Structure 1
């Protein structure tokens, strides 16, 4: 019995890759460790808006799914496809000997290979605080105080099929490379403050700008048409019509702000 929501039974046929070769995954370049500048502060405890955590437990393939994934010549990392296979029930018996079928599971973004991960620590300005000390004789204190709620969003740099799945694949890689809390949308709540103090000299106006950082992720997403093959008692995955597309994304960093102070006369 085969339980697959999107399955359409097809007569088995030959599998051809675009380049005539197995699409083996090339190793990703080792990413340099991301260092957080001193100007960047963690406001996760002070943020008056509770951003939902984007951390998800890594989906583990079932024993059957793992065996199927190992039969594929094209690497499969898409957790939605893995979940579909986990929820599928495939029972074979001796009576199925001689039975051949190919079940179409759809066209999927299969994996994402990161080529470059960087951080723009001043991606979006969200606030400016000022302290006018032009008439003062001593130093004045100035600290970060978010004046109004700000929503900062990111996104993909190009239109691609199955954007939701692609975003998830890219976030998984970017999160591992940066060890930062990232999401395609983050909010800084009004009246969020920070204890870091800046001193405004007499005869000066102090300006404290706050920015939300964002990760810039660039790489390649691999697409393919996925088939579940049944050959007697054997089960396997075949991927046809494999294509690759370059893609980039901006992914804001949650609950961090980058502060920039300057003074004017």
Structure 2
């Protein structure tokens, strides 16, 4: 397909995704120069074709005129007409004279062929140059795409490694906090159990001390208690029935500690004689 200036003007290239490629202004200026040169060459070719056609037509016309003009016969002139000038008969064009004309007509054809070959050679050079530029742009775009993909992959792997390290660190921190929580709970439980054990031990009542026996003349001796006295449990003794308690044993009072079981002892064979105390003085109970 022949390349025309309109093809160069209407040619549109796809824009690259990663870079703009060559300078668009320089490319446009170069394409404008190509368009001007192609238009000049086309105009020159048209002129040369017209000159070639005109030369071919002129050459054909000359060839036809040379073939149609035969040599005119020379007749003897009358005697009376000897003084008259002889008519001038145009001499036919010699055959060798046609060759220079043919050569002159062939010269424009050679120039036209040379111009056509030059235009075709320029066209092929421009096509090869455009193809080389296209392949270079494609290779450069593929290399740029591969570089961007490699950088993105490397960045993604780096981010994944950083996130994995952060996850491992957080997991270790969580494990440490769980271990600390478990130990803290165990220590707190042990501490609370110890405190509860101490509280339980301090809540038990201590053994009360035995009450002192009241002296004679105290309000409690010989008088009835103001409140009913709870019945004491019967104490089993090995003494015979009807035996009186020994002197010096403390009576039971309300709120006092429970009496301990009496120890068995042999019954006395005799009792001491009663003594008369002085006036205003009472002997102590059990003295």
The normalised TM-score by structure 1 is 0.21
More helix by share: 2
Relative CO higher for 1 or 2, CA cutoff 8 Å, sep ≥ 6? 1
The normalised TM-score by structure 2 is 0.20
Structure number with greater Rg is 2
